[in-house]
């Protein structure tokens, strides 16, 4: 079924959040994957906690604070690499299928957007680095509402901005908690389960579960 709009989460869905650490894997050493996982987990935890207590700080601040924690938690990683890791986060690799999928959806007449926790500056840098700036119609950052996902006001930015009913929007995310929030809001949701994670949030299921974005256009 063709949807009027396809909206994508950014980090973990379009862009590989572990690419920054992987780019400096040799310098970090054998605990690089652990460092990256802690960095990502804390980045998200800080977003949820700050939304709950009404103390917004933009996603770049949370990304830096999360890296500080991860470097303390993984003492084998050289803390002097912090600046290089943060610089790499501005230019995260997109997943291999992303350009072709977005271009195919655009050619079908659909509107395309990112809806992300990322700050506007982070998202613009990532999109430009991946050469996706010409295919996207809009980039929605939570910075506009100063609340992070899964607050409903975040998802509402799309339907308000584009004057669409939620059911006309297909929302894709690799984060199951994000899919739960978008499903509750009323979007048609597609969980991009890249790492074969177990199902959760059983009462808020996605419409589809796919291993990558490719099947959005291949029909596989």
Is-contact 174 9, C-beta < 8 A? Answer: yes
Active-site residue (options: 9, 58, 93, 178): 9
* 150 preceded by a cis bond (ω within 30 of 0): yes
Q: Is 78 a catalytic residue?
A: no
Cα–Cα separations (whole angstroms), residue 119 to 27, 60, 62, 153, 173: 28, 6, 10, 16, 17
Order of strands across the sheet that contains 169-173: 138-141, 111-116, 5-8, 169-173, 188-192, 208-210
Beta bridge partners of 139: 114
Rg over CA atoms, the chain = 17
Rounded to whole angstroms, the Cα distance separating 147 from 142 reads: 6
- What are the catalytic residues? 9
């Amino acid at each position: 079924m063709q949807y009027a709009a396809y909206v994508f989460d950014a980090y973990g869905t379009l862009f590989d959040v572990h690419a920054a650490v992987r780019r400096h894997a040799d310098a970090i050493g054998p605990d690089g994957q652990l460092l990256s996982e802690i960095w990502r987990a804390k980045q998200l935890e800080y977003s949820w906690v700050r939304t709950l207590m009404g103390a917004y700080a933009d996603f770049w601040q949370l990304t830096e604070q999360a890296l500080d924690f991860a470097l303390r938690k993984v003492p084998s990683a050289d803390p002097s690499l912090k600046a290089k890791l943060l610089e790499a986060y501005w230019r995260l690799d997109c997943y291999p299928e992303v350009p072709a999928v977005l271009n195919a959806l655009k050619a079908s007449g659909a509107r395309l957007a990112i809806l992300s926790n990322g700050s506007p500056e982070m998202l613009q840098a990532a999109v430009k680095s991946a050469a996706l700036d010409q295919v996207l119609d809009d980039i929605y950052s939570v910075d506009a509402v100063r609340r992070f996902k899964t607050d409903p006001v975040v998802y509402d930015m799309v339907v308000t901005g584009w004057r669409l009913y939620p059911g006309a929007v297909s929302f894709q995310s690799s984060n199951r908690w994000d899919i739960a929030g978008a499903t509750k809001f009323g979007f048609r949701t597609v969980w991009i389960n890249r790492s074969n994670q177990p199902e959760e949030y059983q009462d808020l299921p996605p419409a589809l579960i796919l291993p990558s974005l490719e099947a959005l256009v291949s029909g596989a």
